């Protein structure tokens, strides 16, 4: 990222990318790694590679409809990524249930890793995996965006195209279902 | 410690190879020519042509309504 673009907010970059299309790559440099980690924690690193590439391609093609009143594009990009992750919903739930059942996380590791780390999960993680698998996709999306990415209710609402009230009710429902594992942990 | 925040926290980061491939796909899309629609927008119609078209449409619609409307009783 050049010094010139380092201090420009995302909305301004998107606006500039209408005329200078390669400016959009600065957004990639800002967010690709964190979106990859988010997707990889849900569906594995190999699927996350595709999710990242497709997220930025879709965002680039839709940049004309971005609401420039939001200076940060992070929620918008996570929203696109979350929609793409949804295509792998069954795979995600299957892997969570396998972890809950066996204590071994089947989340695919990169092929390049010669040592495949398969650490037996603690009991709490197994219970959490089962609880996450039992959530609806919408409730799980909200819970993970808040817990893993530190999104505010408003940011989740922007990302998923729902109201802050819906975010609150989904999070409440997810917390109720995972209470046995999470107890009173703050999210 | 938070159970959910730490869940799968040790997931490996994006490899340099995957990052570079995804970035290259984005740049390739950025370098593709714009869709034809954007390069050659449809020329604007003359205001008079638009007005004529609107009048023609309104007249046709009015005809259709007159044909389908039942006859009204005579005023007393």
Does A174 score more than 50 pLDDT? yes
Closest CA to A145 of A119, A164, A123, A121: A164
Question: Nearest 5°: CA angle at A18, between A13 and A19?
Answer: 100
Closest CA to A126 of A94, A95, A96, A100: A100
Cβ(A33)–Cβ(A79) under 8 Å? Answer: no
CA end-to-end span of chain A, whole Å? Answer: 32
Domain chopping of chain A, boundaries: 1-87
Contact A36 B31 (CB under 8 A): no
ipTM of the complex: 0.85
CB atoms within 10 A of CB A36: 26
CATH of span A1-87: 1.10.1740.10
Who wins on pLDDT, A112 or A79?
A: A79
Contact B29 A61 (CB under 8 A): yes
CB atoms within 10 A of CB A144: 22
Does A56 score more than 90 pLDDT? yes
Task: Please state, in angstroms and rounded to a whole number, the distance separating the CA atoms of residues A174 and A168.
Answer: 10
Does A165 score more than 90 pLDDT? yes
Average confidence (pLDDT) over A15-20: 94
Which one of A147, A177, A178 makes the best mutation probe of the B interface by having the most chain B beta carbons within 10 Å?
A147
Percentage of the residues of chain A whose pLDDT score is greater than 90 = 79
What average pLDDT does the structure give for chain B?
Answer: 72
Task: Please state, in angstroms and rounded to a whole number, the distance separating the CA atoms of residues B22 and B14.
Answer: 11
Closest CA to B10 of A118, A28, A101: A118
Task: Please state, in angstroms and rounded to a whole number, the distance separating the CA atoms of residues A45 and B23.
Answer: 17
Does A54 score more than 90 pLDDT? yes
pLDDT of A112 reads: 46
A120 touches chain B (CB under 8 A): no
Does A176 score more than 50 pLDDT? yes
**pTM of structure:** 0.79
Predicted confidence band of residue A122 (pLDDT cuts 50, 70, 90): confident
pLDDT of A44 reads: 95
Does B67 score more than 50 pLDDT? no
Task: Please state, in angstroms and rounded to a whole number, the distance separating the CA atoms of residues A3 and A5.
Answer: 6
> From the CA of A164, how many Å to the nearest CA of chain B?
22
Average confidence (pLDDT) over B42-48: 54
For A143-161, the pLDDT digits (tens) are 999 999 999 999 999 999 9
């Amino acid at each position: 990222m050049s010094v010139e673009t380092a201090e420009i907010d995302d909305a301004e970059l998107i606006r500039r990318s209408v005329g200078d299309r390669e400016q959009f790559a600065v957004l990639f440099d800002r967010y690709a790694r964190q979106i990859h980690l988010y997707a990889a924690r849900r569906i594995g690193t190999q699927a996350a590679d595709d999710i990242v590439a497709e997220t930025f391609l879709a965002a680039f093609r839709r940049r004309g409809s971005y609401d420039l009143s939001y200076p940060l594009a992070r929620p918008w990009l996570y929203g696109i990524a979350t929609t793409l992750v949804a295509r792998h919903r069954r795979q995600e739930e299957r892997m969570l249930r396998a972890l809950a059942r066996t204590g071994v996380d089947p989340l695919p590791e990169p092929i390049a890793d010669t040592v495949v780390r398969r650490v037996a999960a603690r009991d709490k993680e197994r219970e959490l995996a089962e609880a996450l698998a039992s959530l609806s996709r919408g409730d799980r999306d909200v819970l993970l965006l808040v817990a893993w990415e530190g999104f505010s209710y408003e940011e989740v609402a922007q990302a998923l195209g729902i109201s802050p009230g819906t975010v609150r009710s989904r999070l409440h429902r997810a917390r109720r279902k995972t209470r046995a594992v999470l107890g009173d942990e703050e999210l | 410690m938070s159970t959910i925040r730490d869940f799968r926290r040790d997931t490996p980061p994006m490899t340099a190879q995957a990052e570079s491939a995804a970035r290259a796909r984005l740049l390739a899309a950025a370098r593709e020519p714009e869709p034809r629609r954007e390069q050659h927008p449809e020329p604007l119609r003359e205001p008079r042509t638009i007005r004529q078209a609107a009048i023609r449409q309104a007249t046709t619609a009015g005809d259709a309504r007159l044909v389908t409307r039942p006859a009204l009783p005579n005023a007393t």
